[in-house]
């Protein structure tokens, strides 16, 4: 039985990965400080350790007492808008603390890592579909903190002989089919989350952040991937590393670009009415258009997504929001 350590496993993406790992018979331990995570999202079989990833002694002890095959590092702060207001905090959580944690792992012989990075490292790409080899140009402190940790992971792999897979997530959305977990946030900043909150009456309207972008309908374009497909990508990457695979970096998306207005019109079809929207100013740090070229991962692992459908992504997001409301 493979033994996996996760940080930030009580968060949105981490909890989906925990459920899939448990479903597939893995042994799972999760470190989470619960500052943004929710322990009720975790499967019962996951061993939860509540402390900060930068608490070296506790991490040391945990790794020494368990024979982990691999670590998945999800822990971090994720709001672009908040990072613009609190750059030091984002650098501290996403880079400085993570560095301390990873060094502790390496020093204790835990040298296989999967890191949750972001497509935001590309900034405003020059190409219609962005490849892993395209230049990076972060537009906000959140993206910069992720890129810095990517570079740290790459640079230290030589000294520690560690192996890594860096996954650059595009826009993750939707919820577990069985509704065991989904996105819970005190302050929502994801378009599909906020739109779902409007659908169930938690918010009264959706603010479109800018309609003057240089895109066909003036609104920003994103590549949405269902969280359950992203969870599967993690398990494929984990098995590859555990079985002796080499370090690599992959985009995680579907390669389809949808504008904010596209998403709203698809949602309107599902709810059979028009969602109440108003146009607001652009958000600082937002990219105009970011769509993935996903050929690399798909070819490398002969992988095909199961949930590549905007309608399904939106339906599961709305169902989850209804569950939270009830």
The closest of 217, 310, 221, 326 to 268, measured between CA atoms, is 310
Write out the two tokens for 140: 């906000």
Beta carbons of 174 and 195 less than 8 angstroms apart: no
From the list 12, 95, 122, 142, the catalytic residue is 142
Q: Position of tokens 């240089």?
A: 214
Beta bridge partners of 72: 6, 114
Contacts of 324 (CB under 8 A, 6+ apart): 182, 184
Structure tokens at 269: 């079809």
DSSP, collapsed to helix, strand or coil, labels residue 266 as helix
The pair of structure tokens assigned to 203 is 């918010």
d(CA 27, CA 223): 32
Q: 26: which residues sit within 8 A by CB, 6+ positions away?
A: 1, 2, 3, 4
Q: Is 142 a catalytic residue?
A: yes
- Catalytic positions, please? 142
């Amino acid at each position: 039985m493979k033994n996996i350590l996760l940080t930030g496993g009580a968060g949105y993406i981490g909890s989906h990965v925990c459920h899939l790992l448990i479903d597939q018979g893995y042994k799972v331990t999760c470190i989470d400080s619960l500052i943004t995570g929710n322990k009720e999202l975790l499967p019962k079989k996951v061993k939860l350790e509540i402390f900060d990833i930068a608490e070296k002694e506790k991490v040391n002890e945990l790794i020494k007492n368990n024979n982990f095959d691999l670590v998945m590092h999800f822990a971090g702060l994720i709001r672009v808008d908040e990072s613009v207001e609190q750059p030091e905090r984002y650098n501290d959580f996403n880079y400085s603390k993570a560095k301390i944690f990873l060094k502790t792992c390496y020093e204790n012989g835990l040298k296989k890592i999967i890191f949750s990075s972001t497509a935001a490292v590309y900034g405003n790409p020059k190409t219609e579909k962005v490849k892993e080899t395209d230049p990076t140009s972060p537009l906000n402190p959140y993206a910069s903190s992720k890129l810095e940790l990517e570079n740290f992971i790459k640079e230290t792999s030589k000294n520690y002989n560690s192996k890594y897979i860096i996954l650059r997530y595009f826009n993750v959305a939707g919820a577990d089919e069985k509704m065991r977990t989904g996105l819970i946030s005190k302050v929502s900043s994801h378009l599909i989350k906020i739109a779902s909150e409007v659908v169930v009456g938690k918010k009264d309207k959706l603010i479109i952040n800018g309609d003057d972008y240089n895109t066909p309908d003036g609104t920003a374009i994103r590549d949405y991937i269902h969280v359950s497909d992203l969870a599967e990508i993690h398990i494929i990457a984990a098995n590859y590393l555990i079985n002796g695979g080499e370090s690599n970096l992959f985009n995680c998306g579907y390669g389809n670009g949808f504008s904010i207005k596209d998403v709203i019109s698809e949602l309107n079809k599902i709810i059979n009415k028009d969602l109440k929207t108003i146009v607001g100013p652009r958000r600082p740090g937002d990219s105009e258009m970011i769509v993935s070229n996903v050929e690399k991962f798909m070819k490398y692992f002969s992988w095909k997504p199961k949930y590549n459908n905007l309608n399904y992504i939106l339906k599961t997001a709305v169902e989850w929001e209804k569950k939270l409301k009830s």
